[in-house]
Structure 1
Amino acid sequence: MAKIVTSTKSCTVNPLRMSQPLGASLAFMGLRNCMPLLHGSQGCTSFGLVLFVRHFRESIPMQTTAMSEVATVLGGFDNVEQAIVNIVGRTKPDVIGICTTGVTEIKGDDLDGFIKEVRRKHPELANVALVSVSTPDFKGALEDGFAATVTRIVETLVEAPAPGAARDAVKLNVLAGSHLTPGDIDELRDIIEAFGLQPTFLPDISGSLDGHLPDDFTPTTHGGVSVAEVAAMGSAAHTLALGEQMRKAAVALEAKAGMPFTLLRRLTGLAAGDELMATLAQISGRPVPAKYRRQRSQLVDAMLDGHFYFGGKQVAIGAEPDMLLNISGFLADMGCTVSAAVTTTTSPILEQVPSDEVLIGDLEDLERRGEDCDLLVTHSHGRQAAERLGVPLFRMGLPMFDRLGAAHQVAVGYRGTRDLIFSIGNVFIAAIKEPDVSSWRDAAARPERFDAPITAH
């Protein structure tokens, strides 16, 4: 059981965490025809917009209430009202997701009260869903904001089934955590559908942030799960929560619709893949398809091929809690030692991380603790630390702006785990130092050193 320690430094030197409003915006971008709206200054939204554009390399829909100094002091209702009316008039969204920021949280703006007043003054907005969530950026991290937003979406948009209404046995709700990429969600959808189930992912960033070219331009999200599909989640027979961060949303869905849920903390690794397959087989009543039995065999073979390069390696990891547990558990399964584990926020699963200690800190803490490591695993902001340490960096998490294909990384299920073994194993192989053969070449150029007669002494 890992010991949880919180950094006591006076300031963050090299940030590891992303803020709650960014997590909330990411969750809202998994809704179809949605416009995330940050209630705060223009700079807050500009920062998030640039970060998402660099990571996904796509156009990102985000708007701001553009709070000025005067509006911050007097209250932001007028800004919220004007922003909502303008967005509806120009972009015709189905849903607007409103996130607070640090300045409006400190001021104490009542977003729920604002929305009620906007509804009263503008009955023409009745067909637009308005979802507000409290996401102060001076505490918590991206995972916290993402989890709070999914919970709020469930509480606001999911419709409770009528008493005695029959449930659809093939419908499965899937609450997808922030540690899953669009590629991961696509892979999970294929796996779930192979069991004859019809999954509804919330949020579904695989449809909106997967890098496809839409037929025509839209200023809102051009994919994801629709408001109608979210409303119908109450008629499903079961819920699958992926990541500890989705527990509160699953509990809220169970309380509202009365359906049971299963929580899977890990999706990467042999045992994690087996648990996923066993869960889906139990829910669907079907055996595991032959396709995935073969993929399991391929994964076992990849583990045999790769364990020579993983065994005994010291790894330092910096990531959000659910990703930290997922990747550290996988590396420990492969024979690595997690010598340093740094995360961004508290979580009940941190004690399960296979390391002696987990520090809630920053990338400077990770760099100091990873001095003797063989590999650094974190997002792109860790590249300077890896260079100073002289160790390779394997990029995971958000943001990843100096490599292509961040949205299409797959690390779940048997196939995702197999490919992750190859990717990280190749990094270890590339880091192996070749022997110095210059002396051999010099000797070959001077054969007289070897042709001289041997004399007795």
Structure 2
Amino acid sequence: MAHVVESRKACTVNPLKMSQPLGATFAFMGLDACMPVMHGSQGCTSFALVLLVRHFKEAIPLQTTAMNEVTTIMGGYENIEAALLNIRKRAAPKVIAICSTGLTETKGDDVEGYLVTARQRKPELADTEIVYVSTPDYVGAFEDGYKHAVTGIVRALVKPLPVDAKQVTLLPGSHLSPGDIDELREIIEAFGLTPVVLPDISGSLDGHIAPDWRGTTLGGTTLEEIRAAGASAFTLGVGEQTREAAEALKTIADTPFEVFERLTGLEVNDRLLQRLSKIAGCAVPAKYRRQRSQLLDAMLDGHFYTGGIKVAIGAEPDLLLAVGGFLHEMGAELRCCVSTTKSAAHALLPAEQVLLGDLEDLEQGAADCDLLITHSHGRQAAERLDKPLLRMGFPVFDRIGNAHRRYVGYRGTMNLIFEVSNLMMERIAHHHPGDWPLTPEARRAAMPVRMANADTQIESRTAAASA
């Protein structure tokens, strides 16, 4: 269990965390025909818009209530009413999803009351679902905003229905990419089950060329699918951040659930397939037995380059656990772990300490590490330290293809092994040019950490695989 420590610095230097409203907006982007709205100033919305566009390289529909000095003091009802009417007229979304910002939370706007009044005064809004979630950006982080948004969607739109034994609800965490969600959907469907993914950014942010432009999100979980979640026989959550929404579904529709702390690794994916096999009442498809065998081989191949290395990770809690937990299983030492917010996931992390801090803290703690893992804002720190950087999390704006990266399931776990191992191989080759491939003895000498126990590790893993 990692001991959680909060940074006590007077200011944040090179921030690691993103805000709650941005996390909520990210969740809303996974709903079809939806218009996300930030109740705050134009600057708050513009900042979020830039980050989303740079990460996904896609057009992002996002609106604002455009609060100014006067409306902030006097109250934002007129701005919300005007925004709702304009959005309905111009884009005709099926869902308008509103999240608050620090500006309006500090003022204390009663947004829920405003929405009741707006519906009474403007009956033309009756055909549009409106979801509101409170996400002040002066507390919490990206993951918290996402969590509250998904829970808010469930509570506002899901109703109990007769159970469909072949339908399951998948609640993906904010750390999963569209490619990750596609991988999980394929796994679920392989068992003859129908997944309702909530929210589903694999339909809206997967980098496709849309046949039309409506001004809203194009793809994602439809309003009908959200409502149908009340009929699911089981709920699968990925990451501790989904537990709150899974519990809400349990309360509303009495749907049993299981939250998987991560789906990057061997044992956790074994548990997922066993759970799906039990729900579907059938054996695990043969192709996943093959993929599992391939993952075991990849672990044997890759552990020579991951065993004993020191890793510094800066990420949201569930991503930190997913990546850090698996690298620990591959023999790496989690020397420096920096996160953004409190979470039950920290208690599961195999590290001595988790610091709630910024990228300056990560840079200071990574001085003797072999690998840095964080988002693109950590690239300067990696350059100063002359360390390899694996870009993960949000935002990653200096690489393309973020929507298609996969780190879940057996195949996604293999991808992570290959990326980390190749980075370490490149580092060895960089420090020993013209002397490649290295002998095992030279490789051990080249690495800043010792890998003398590599033969013992591979023998033990081979024995475990045979068993």
TM-score range, shorter chain: over 0.9
SS of alignment partner, residue 99 of structure 1:
strand
Other-structure match for 1:271 = 267
Q: Deviations over 1:303-356 (max 9, x none)?
A: 111111111100000000000001001100111001000000000120211111
Shift of 1:437: 6.3
Q: Deviations over 1:109-165 (max 9, x none)?
A: 01100100010011111110000000000110000000000000000000123xxx4
SS of alignment partner, residue 126 of structure 1:
helix
Shift of 1:424: 1.2
Q: Aligned equivalents of 1:434 and 1:123: distance in 2?
A: 69
SS of alignment partner, residue 127 of structure 2:
coil
What are the equivalent positions in structure 2 for 1:55-454 lying under 5 Å apart? 55-161=55-161, 165=162, 167-432=163-428, 433-435=430-432
Q: Aligned equivalents of 2:425 and 2:190: distance in 1?
A: 35
Q: Aligned equivalents of 1:257 and 1:434: distance in 2?
A: 59
Shift of 1:436: 6.4
**Residue 437 to residue 239, structure 1, CA distance change in 2 (3 Å):** closer
Q: Aligned equivalents of 2:328 and 2:214: distance in 1?
A: 44
**Residue 437 to residue 129, structure 1, CA distance change in 2 (3 Å):** closer
Larger Rg: 1
Q: Aligned equivalents of 1:425 and 1:404: distance in 2?
A: 21
Other-structure match for 1:36 = 36
Q: Aligned equivalents of 1:383 and 1:420: distance in 2?
A: 19
Q: Deviations over 1:217-274 (max 9, x none)?
A: 1210000011111011111111111110011111111100111111111100111211
Q: Aligned equivalents of 2:238 and 2:319: distance in 1?
A: 11
Q: Aligned equivalents of 2:327 and 2:196: distance in 1?
A: 30
Count of residue pairs brought into register by the alignment: 434
Superposed CA RMSD in Å reads 1.0
Which amino acid in structure 2 is aligned with residue 17 of structure 1? Answer: K
Q: TM-score, normalised by structure 1?
A: 0.94
In structure 1, list runs of 5 or more residues that go unmatched.
Answer: 439-457
Q: Aligned equivalents of 1:242 and 1:362: distance in 2?
A: 25
SS of alignment partner, residue 238 of structure 1:
strand
Which amino acid in structure 1 is aligned with residue 155 of structure 2? Answer: E
Which amino acid in structure 1 is aligned with residue 90 of structure 2? Answer: R
Other-structure match for 1:452 = none
Q: Aligned equivalents of 1:160 and 1:236: distance in 2?
A: 9
Which amino acid in structure 1 is aligned with residue 224 of structure 2? Answer: A
Q: Aligned equivalents of 1:301 and 1:405: distance in 2?
A: 26
Q: Deviations over 1:258-300 (max 9, x none)?
A: 1111111110011121111111111111111001100000000
Q: Aligned equivalents of 1:119 and 1:303: distance in 2?
A: 57
Which amino acid in structure 2 is aligned with residue 220 of structure 1? Answer: T
**Residue 437 to residue 406, structure 1, CA distance change in 2 (3 Å):** closer
Q: Aligned equivalents of 1:352 and 1:97: distance in 2?
A: 33
Q: Aligned equivalents of 1:437 and 1:28: distance in 2?
A: 51
Q: Which runs of 4+ in 1 moved over 4 A?
A: none
